[in-house]
Structure 1
Amino acid sequence: MNKIKNHVLKILLGCLSISSASVIASPSISSLSTAQIPTVLLTNPGTLLSLQPQPTDLFSNASQRFLMTYRSRGIQSEPIVASGFILLPKGKAPKGGWPILAWAHGTTGVADTCAPSSDYVDGPVHAYQQVVAKPLNAWLARGYAVVAPDYQGLGTPGEHPYMNAQSQLHTVVDAVRAIHLLKPNQLSKNWFVMGHSQGGAASLAVAAYGQKDAPELNLRGAIALAPGGYQYQGIAEYVVNNPEPDKSVAAFFPIVLLGAEAADPNLAPENLISPDMEKILNTARSRCLSELQSNLTEPPKSVFKPNANLNPLIHYLKKQSIENMIPTVPVMLVQGEKDHLVDSRGTYAYYQQICTAQKPIKFHSIKDGDHRDSLKQSEFLIGDFINSVEKGKVTNLCSKK
């Protein structure tokens, strides 16, 4: 049933004109009860296009949850439709309104069924969402409203340009704009961004460019949990040097290739990969990472074709690397020391780079922590970071391991 709903939603959104003056809205939402929205508003990034109440389920500290679609911008700032979900805290909004957390999720895949906003019990992203729920509940308990974009092409028309810095920046920033239209008098302009893995890279892009991109809002800080993307081109170089990678890499690498192709069709992976790898890649077009990891019984015997020209791909991946992102707001990095998916040495090297640039940044290392431990531990770390930001006490002193 959920897949049918997603399919219908995709058809609906594909027929929706961005410049139309009409909006799909739940009649129960007073702030969107009018049948018409001025056309000039619909041309603005962050315009709400549809809103649907959902059960709060995993989010025990939420008073309400909504599935939303909204106008955003793609890789070249072209207009797109994006989706996500909104969580509102319990109780009455304080004077000045609830501050906002923008949540940037980790890698789920590139297929529409991998969109976290359409999660369901036993679905392909449900196990991850169960882990996500605890830290988001912690933000809700602190009186933050939460907006969680799916990213471009997840659950909405078009392909997902996985790890594209510009696209992820836009969908996160425009989601924050969109939530203000839901409760315009109950939300503060102050906001934080927090992301895990893929979302950690997204949060660093927001930390670098978010305030300039949305000057009408007040970005206070960013939390990057096990951020992927340090020397991002290294994953392609690794596969070149390890033509028979283990299953975890073989399951993940198609997402990298399909994301690059979504951003630049000239990077078509079928021109680069072996027949063995092509089978896995085609599966990745319609299955999520968790499914790829569980269904892949053995790695391919080779990944790339002999003499494949990888220079354009490597050049593209390098442009998305997090070391290109210099924060303009305080940042906290959280990294597990035994993370086998994101190398802790890369996260620490990024920390040293930003710290040397004299930008306010903290690094919290989790001893024996794996990839998800940074996410699990974040709920116990956000309070100190928020307080440090509010008091202007986030330092830029480089520490030594």
Structure 2
Amino acid sequence: MARYAGPKLLLLATAAMGLGLANSHQASNFDVPTEVAESHSCDAICQQIIAQMNVLDLGTFGTNFDFDFYATAANFSESKPGDLLKLLPLSNSSAISNAPEGVSVYKFQYTSAAVDGAPVPVTGLIALPPATNNSRSNLVAFAHGTTGLYRGCAPSTYTQLFNDDGWPRAVAAGYAVVVSDFAGLGNNFTEHLYLSKAQANDVYYSVLASQKAFPQRLSHKWVSLGHSQGGGAIWQLSEHKLVQDANSGYLGGVAVAPPTKLSDQFQSALRNLQSNSSTADQIQTFLTTIPPTTLGLQRYFPSDYDAPLLTEKTKQRIELAGIGQLCLYALGGLMLDLTPNDVFVNLNNTDDSQMQKFQALNSPAQGDLAGKPLLVIHGSADILVSPESSKASFDASCGYGNILHRTVYEGRDHGSVLRDSSIEWIQFIADRFAGRDFGSTCTESVMGGTEL
């Protein structure tokens, strides 16, 4: 079900580039003219919020997008999933100014597979630790959290790549790391299908392509690690048919704060609104997830998803995301001045059959085999992805006979849990490469969390 950039998307992108372009290399978070914003139910307060959030996003993604590199490679049409298309060293880039000494970083483009198996170009990063005695470096594939849904929101465009709390810690521990941007981010041959199984494909094929880029440097065996959206992708990957084969080299994965079952979590949040049991922070956080979730479903079901639970005002606001090519903060910012009654048609109406169908088609823990070790980590104070949701998926997967371990970090929220659990997940990675036993039963534990 690859959805390619059709005329409507191209028109939106073209319009966005002409609206508030201050730099010819800017690819995201464009200013939207007042009249356009107002025609999309975005008043002065809404516009002020978006302007403030754009500053935050551009501080992360910058205004120096390399359009030539992110353009689809000329040899893509002749490629197959796992093929390397482009490789670009970042030796003189300010984006790696705080990289550990001796670490080499490359951008690369490779071919992945969409949810329907069609080839798609994807971009990402490869980071290599200092070489020692011509030995191979053990490889970790990192899956990133939500950054946005448009081409300018790719992690490989970060102004400071090593500010991430995840994969740089693996590099510092001596591992080579490959980071997929995910299809639709960076390269825009196709749209980004948010929270779909496509991201598991992107992780898997990033490994094959990176091994082709550095056949003498990277190990055949590999471990995966993901946070938030990427944590969900790693759980999906653990059930991927291709990694059940011993020849894949896959040793296991870590899913940190993973969203697993979209519809179930959405329904739970709506029930909390109905019962007035949500805090103000929980309500605001939930509402900021509405734009990416809605856009993801519209892209997955392009002809028959009309967001039945949302008001026209909310739908109009969400359309601004495409016009302005908004990344993470501005995307969520579209909802920051709204109440639940502004956003939803009727809080007592929670039926969204297409969201349920999306969950059935894309969510893990529905009976598939996860033949390699999977460590699930969650913060007890996570109000973005509830700990109860990962617990339910953990119990379900264990019930199907899979072997998982789940650790809850007391007092840690959605962001801090990745950093504060790093001792555990780095040890998990080391154990997998050392061939240590993971156990034969599902286990759970609670920890306080210590920063590495």
Partner residue, 1:100: 139
- 1:292 and 1:110 map into 2 onto residues whose CA distance is 9
Give yes or no for contact 1:111–1:154 (8 Å, CA) kept in 2: yes
- 1:311 and 1:17 map into 2 onto residues whose CA distance is 40
Question: Greater shift after overlay, 350-359 or 257-266?
Answer: 350-359
Pair 1:164-2:196 in alignment: yes
- 1:185 and 1:46 map into 2 onto residues whose CA distance is 17
Percent identity over the alignment is: 23
- 1:214 and 1:114 map into 2 onto residues whose CA distance is 33
Pair 1:199-2:243 in alignment: no
Structure 1: 5+ residue stretches without partners: 20-41
Say which of 52, 65, 71 aligns to 2:105: 65
- 1:128-207 equivalences under 5 Å are 130-132=163-165, 135-157=166-188, 158-165=190-197, 167-207=198-238
Give yes or no for contact 2:107–2:124 (8 Å, CA) kept in 1: yes
The DSSP-based 3-state class of the residue aligned with 2:343 is: coil
Say which of 299, 302, 306 aligns to 1:262: 299
The DSSP-based 3-state class of the residue aligned with 2:365 is: helix
Give yes or no for contact 2:100–2:172 (8 Å, CA) kept in 1: no
- 1:221-240 equivalences under 5 Å are 221-229=252-260, 231-238=261-268
Say which of 327, 334, 338 aligns to 1:288: 327
- 1:78 and 1:57 map into 2 onto residues whose CA distance is 37
Give yes or no for contact 2:106–2:125 (8 Å, CA) kept in 1: yes
Pair 1:319-2:361 in alignment: yes
Pair 1:395-2:426 in alignment: no
Q: Cα gap change, 1:248/1:141 in structure 2, threshold over 3 Å: closer, same or farther?
A: closer
The DSSP-based 3-state class of the residue aligned with 2:182 is: coil
Q: State the Cα distance separating 1:85 from its structure 2 match.
A: 0.8
Pair 1:328-2:341 in alignment: no
- 2:232 and 2:364 map into 1 onto residues whose CA distance is 6
- 1:308 and 1:357 map into 2 onto residues whose CA distance is 29
- 2:215 and 2:435 map into 1 onto residues whose CA distance is 27
Give yes or no for contact 2:244–2:372 (8 Å, CA) kept in 1: no
- 1:10 and 1:214 map into 2 onto residues whose CA distance is 34
Question: Greater shift after overlay, 210-219 or 332-341?
Answer: 210-219
Q: Cα gap change, 1:267/1:155 in structure 2, threshold over 3 Å: closer, same or farther?
A: farther
Partner amino acid, structure 1, of 2:97: D
Give yes or no for contact 1:62–1:137 (8 Å, CA) kept in 2: no
Per-residue CA deviation, residues 75-106 of structure 1 (Å, 9 max, x unaligned), is 211111111111011133654x2121100001
Pair 1:16-2:74 in alignment: yes
Partner amino acid, structure 1, of 2:163: Q
- 2:383 and 2:66 map into 1 onto residues whose CA distance is 35
Give yes or no for contact 2:291–2:318 (8 Å, CA) kept in 1: yes
Say which of 85, 88, 111 aligns to 2:150: 111
Cα RMSD for the two superposed structures: 2.9
Q: Cα gap change, 1:186/1:387 in structure 2, threshold over 3 Å: closer, same or farther?
A: closer
Question: Greater shift after overlay, 350-359 or 216-225?
Answer: 350-359
- 1:193 and 1:400 map into 2 onto residues whose CA distance is 20
Give yes or no for contact 2:317–2:334 (8 Å, CA) kept in 1: no
Say which of 274, 280, 288 aligns to 1:251: 288
Partner amino acid, structure 2, of 1:174: Y
Per-residue CA deviation, residues 275-304 of structure 1 (Å, 9 max, x unaligned), is 211233123332122223456441254435
Q: State the Cα distance separating 1:17 from its structure 2 match.
A: 5.3
Partner amino acid, structure 2, of 1:71: T
Q: State the Cα distance separating 1:359 from its structure 2 match.
A: 3.0
Q: State the Cα distance separating 1:109 from its structure 2 match.
A: 1.5
Give yes or no for contact 1:100–1:188 (8 Å, CA) kept in 2: yes
Pair 1:3-2:22 in alignment: no
Give yes or no for contact 1:116–1:150 (8 Å, CA) kept in 2: yes
Partner residue, 1:34: none
- 2:118 and 2:417 map into 1 onto residues whose CA distance is 34
- 2:178 and 2:320 map into 1 onto residues whose CA distance is 30
Q: State the Cα distance separating 1:331 from its structure 2 match.
A: 1.0
Per-residue CA deviation, residues 142-180 of structure 1 (Å, 9 max, x unaligned), is 332110001111111221100001x11211111101111
Give yes or no for contact 1:232–1:318 (8 Å, CA) kept in 2: no
Q: State the Cα distance separating 1:388 from its structure 2 match.
A: 3.6
Pair 1:273-2:313 in alignment: no
Give yes or no for contact 2:141–2:179 (8 Å, CA) kept in 1: yes
Give yes or no for contact 1:83–1:156 (8 Å, CA) kept in 2: yes
- 1:82 and 1:150 map into 2 onto residues whose CA distance is 7
The DSSP-based 3-state class of the residue aligned with 1:323 is: coil
- 1:90 and 1:206 map into 2 onto residues whose CA distance is 29
- 2:210 and 2:176 map into 1 onto residues whose CA distance is 9
Q: Cα gap change, 1:364/1:331 in structure 2, threshold over 3 Å: closer, same or farther?
A: same
> TM-score by structure 1 length?
0.81
Question: Greater shift after overlay, 79-88 or 138-147?
Answer: 138-147
**How many residues get paired?**
367
Q: Cα gap change, 1:103/1:160 in structure 2, threshold over 3 Å: closer, same or farther?
A: same
Partner residue, 1:339: 382
Partner residue, 2:84: 48
Per-residue CA deviation, residues 285-342 of structure 1 (Å, 9 max, x unaligned), is 3212222345644125443557897312322233322323542100111111111111
Q: Cα gap change, 1:318/1:218 in structure 2, threshold over 3 Å: closer, same or farther?
A: same
Q: State the Cα distance separating 1:222 from its structure 2 match.
A: 0.3
Say which of 344, 350, 360 aligns to 2:403: 360
Partner amino acid, structure 2, of 1:376: R
- 2:401 and 2:435 map into 1 onto residues whose CA distance is 18
